Amino acid sequence: MDVHIQRAGYESGEAVVEEIEFDVRPGEIVGMIGSNGAGKSTTIACLTGTIPWMQGRVEIGRYAYIPEQPIYYDYLTLAEHIALVTELTRTEESARTHQLLELFRLESVQHDYIASFSKGMKQKAMILLALIQEAEFLLVDEPFVGLDATTTIQLLRLLEEERRRGTGVLLVTHVLDTADRLCDRFVWIDNGRMLANGTKQEIRAELGTDGESLFDMMEDVVMR
């Protein structure tokens, strides 16, 4: 995944994000961090091609996207969603699907409408629908919101597993501790621009901070 966004926004000529450049290589997890309204979700919209106006270039292979808010069809059951996704991505309903259904405890409700699920179950359904695609890249937008501790741990393990499988993961998150533990590199977005990009050591050098963790670095930068 190679991203070179010069300017992008929701109205023509009104840039919300500018000069954002980064890449995600297969088999690594890149964390996209930044405060509320920094432009993280807009950057994701550039990657998924849903931004109305963009100048720049995005090269991305076959990807799957886990949105921040669950987005699904009100009139389809989970099993029908799975059938549709496998049909569209030309994959086969494999043992992995059943394994994920079992892992997320969604087996018994797979013939129910997703609309009738609780918030956490909806989020789990979104994760499942993305993972069964076996895509080259995973775009994960704030995945831990609404998940219980068990599912969060399961998701972290699944992301690790995806990394081992060779999937490139772009993880957008506010949870700095988790990002710190999980990600290989970071893209730090602030006020619609890229503040820093690289490993923790590179970011530390670039921003001239001596913070040990991401949290310390952010605290240091914010307090300046």
Partner 1 sequence: MTIRDVWVRRVRIDFTKRWETWRLIFDWTIVLYGGIPLALFFGYQYGLIWQGAYPWLVDVPMLVWAVVFLLIQLHDNFFVWVERADVTLVANRDLVSALKRYSIGYHVVGMALKYTFVLVLFAPVPSLHGWPLVSLFAFGFALLFVAWLHMWVRYLLNMNGTHWSLRLIVPVVAFVCTFALLTDLPLLAIVLGSGSVAFALAAGEGWLSRHPYIRREVDHAANVRTAFDRSLLSASGVYEKPNLRKRPLYRPKSNRFGSVRRTLAILLYIRTPNHRNLWLRLIPLAVTGLLLVPSWFKLLIPLYIGYVGLQERDALLKEMERHPFFRTTEGRTD
Q: Binding residues for partner 1, per CB under 8 A?
A: 11-12, 45, 48-53, 62-65, 67, 71-73, 75-76, 80-81, 83-85, 87-89, 129, 133, 135
For partner 1, the closer of residues 129 and 183 by Cβ is 129
For partner 1, the closer of residues 72 and 144 by Cβ is 72
Find, among 193, 160, 163, 188, the residue nearest to 174 by Cα: 188
Tokens matching residue 186: 């970071």
Output the smallest distance, CB 221 to partner 1, in A. 31
Tell me the backbone φ, ψ of residue 76, rounded to 5 degrees: -120, 145
Output the smallest distance, CB 30 to partner 1, in A. 18
For partner 1, the closer of residues 56 and 198 by Cβ is 56
For partner 1, the closer of residues 62 and 119 by Cβ is 62
Output the smallest distance, CB 37 to partner 1, in A. 15
Q: Helices 95-103 and 119-131: crossing angle, nearest 10°?
A: 160
What Å distances lie between residue 23 and 16, 26, 134, CA to CA?
Answer: 20, 10, 20
Ordered alpha helix ranges (H), 93-169: 95-103, 119-131, 149-165
Output the smallest distance, CB 151 to partner 1, in A. 20
Residue 121 and residue 204: Cα distance in Å, rounded?
A: 38
Output the smallest distance, CB 188 to partner 1, in A. 26
For partner 1, the closer of residues 73 and 215 by Cβ is 73
Residue 186 and residue 199: Cα distance in Å, rounded?
A: 6
Output the smallest distance, CB 45 to partner 1, in A. 8
Helix, strand, or coil here: 4?
strand
